[in-house]
Chain A
Amino acid sequence: MNIKRAFRVWQRHLTVYTKLYKSSFALNFAEPILYLTAMGLGLGAFVRDIKGMPYINYIAPGIIASSSMFAAIYECTYGTYVRIVFQKTFDAILATPVGIDDLIAGEMIWGASKSILYGTTIIIVISLFGLVESPFIVLAIPLLFISGLIFAEISLIVVAKVPGIDSFNYFYTLVMTPMFLFSGIFFPLDGMPPIVEKIAFFTPLYHLVNICRAFAMGRLAAPLTDIVWIIVVAMVLAPYPFRLMRRHILK
């Protein structure tokens, strides 16, 4: 893998994105804000403080995490699939000095970059609404890149394995949505049967939520295990998208 050539792929995606962002950005951005207002204000009016904070303040940092997850997953499932199958972008790029490994690395880094972009946007918005206590929340930004890599890696593995575009719905419904609901964004998992938290421990979103919430409260040391978890998992998963995509594309 050649990082400069991976950057060329990333650069292509950025060029296309800057042309189209007006339509896609507004949509992706609207959804987290809808959750925040509907749950935070609507449901929050009936919910007592959680761990000493108003409900909307409790969920706000979790929305950073979920928004960055959705951005990377949609980009590297649906987006990558369209580039491979409908637009044949992979075929075009692979006829240049860019190789398959450079291309997959470019997809992953782009997915992680979108995680940063969407997560950071939410950080700015919830900070403007006064829902974040501590400026240390900015330290979450580099970690959004690491967790973004995990979401991108999982997504590319799914793309390499599924028979068609409709199969993504299984992944969204059976993996992404449960992760979103049971990662501690909307309620503390310690109120659930212990098995829920045990399962959540094996999902990246749970750890990212812990990190965002701790940083938003200015507790820097608290999420140490979570930080180690996402770094280790990002590294352990890394070889698989390359291996499976090589097989998938060059079949």
Chain B
Amino acid sequence: MAIVVARRLVKDYGSFRAVDSIDFEISEGEFFGFLGPNGAGKTSVMRVIYCFMPPTAGDVKVLGLSVVEKPDLIKSRIGVMPQENNLDPDLTVIENLIVYARYFDIPVKVSRPRAWELLDFVELREKADVKIEQLSGGMKHRLLLARSLINNPELLILDEPTTGLDPRSRHSVWDKLNHLKAKGTTLVLTTHYMEEAERLCDRVAIMDAGKIIAIDTPANLMAAHGGNLEDVYLKLTGRKLAGGTA
């Protein structure tokens, strides 16, 4: 079953076309990646999928529901790990999870044990009562991941989940994501790290200037164009991918 279906998706900001009529489908249980440099339109696609803003044109369905008609229903069943840290700085680690659960109408009776479970999952149990500013960058990323799982999402959206992390923290996040995939969660991520896409994704869509220029498994892309995904991007666009590999 398709978890996300986009048909002729367009997103404009004023006169600037960030996403230029793209089509894609993401299946249940799949780990799907949007790959491309900054400004390719990846984050805009994510924001439409998680109903932060409506598409300018086109038809997008998530979990069988239209993003324009049923955004709150969709949002109650998905999780979002944002690119930037937007944890509540005035709250402790555990309070961040419990307050976030309230937005989903999850009662404290349910959210408190769930929060502890998630803190174990991301290895932050001993930091439960610590303020956010005392966490390292890697810990904040892991807490953002835990927060995005508070409602047991069927679909998890990750916008550059490891940007700015050191290799060890990056591997730690990757382990968690692989674990979620093994449990059957559908995952969608954006990245400009080729290694991340190669290691994690079942399929990737390579984006450039608002368009999808290739969409396939990493193995097929590399077989068809030669080299690694970095080389594939270079061959398809004639340009090097800004940001480089991990």
Contact = CB atoms under 8 A, between A and B. Distances in A.
A32 to B, nearest CB: 25
B103 A15 contact: no
Interface in A74-99: 87-89, 91-99
A8 B82 CA distance: 21
Nearest to A7: B102
B82 A251 contact: no
Contact of A92 (B71, B73, B82, B90): B82
B121 interface: no
A15 B86 contact: no
Nearest to B150: A96
B91 A95 contact: no
Given A15-B91, A250-B53, A95 B75 contact: yes
A16 B88 contact: yes
A94 B54 CA distance: 13
A12 interface: yes
B100 A99 contact: no
Contact of B90 (A20, A95, A250, A251): A20
Contacts of B89: 87
B69 interface: no
A228 B100 CA distance: 39
Interface string B65-102: 00000011101100010101111111100010001101
A11 interface: yes
B76 to A, nearest CB: 4
B91 A92 contact: no
Interface residues of A, number: 24
A90 B91 CA distance: 15
Given A15-B91, A250-B52, A91 B84 contact: yes
A2 B72 CA distance: 10
Interface residues of B, number: 26
A5 B75 CA distance: 13
A198 interface: no
Contacts of A22: none
A48 interface: no
A96 B52 contact: no
Contact of A93 (B87, B91, B103): B103
Nearest to A86: B89
Contacts of B90: 16, 19-20
B86 A89 contact: yes
B104 interface: yes
Nearest to B78: A95
A42 to B, nearest CB: 37
Contacts of B193: none
A19 B91 CA distance: 8
B100 A97 contact: no
A191 to B, nearest CB: 46
Nearest to B132: A87
B103 A8 contact: yes
A94 B85 CA distance: 14
B102 A12 contact: yes
19 contacts: A2-B72, A5-B72, A5-B103, A11-B102, A15-B95, A16-B90, A19-B91, A87-B89, A88-B84, A91-B52, A92-B86, A92-B87, A95-B50, A96-B76, A96-B100, A97-B104, A97-B105, A250-B52, A250-B53
Interface of B: 13, 50, 52-53, 71-73, 75-76, 80, 82, 84-91, 95, 99-100, 102-105
Which 5 residue pairs of A and B lie closest in terms of their CB atoms, listed nearest first? A88-B86, A96-B103, A95-B80, A92-B86, A97-B76
Given A5-B72, A88-B84, A97-B76, 11 more contacts: A11-B102, A12-B102, A89-B88, A92-B82, A92-B87, A93-B103, A94-B52, A95-B82, A97-B103, A99-B71, A250-B53
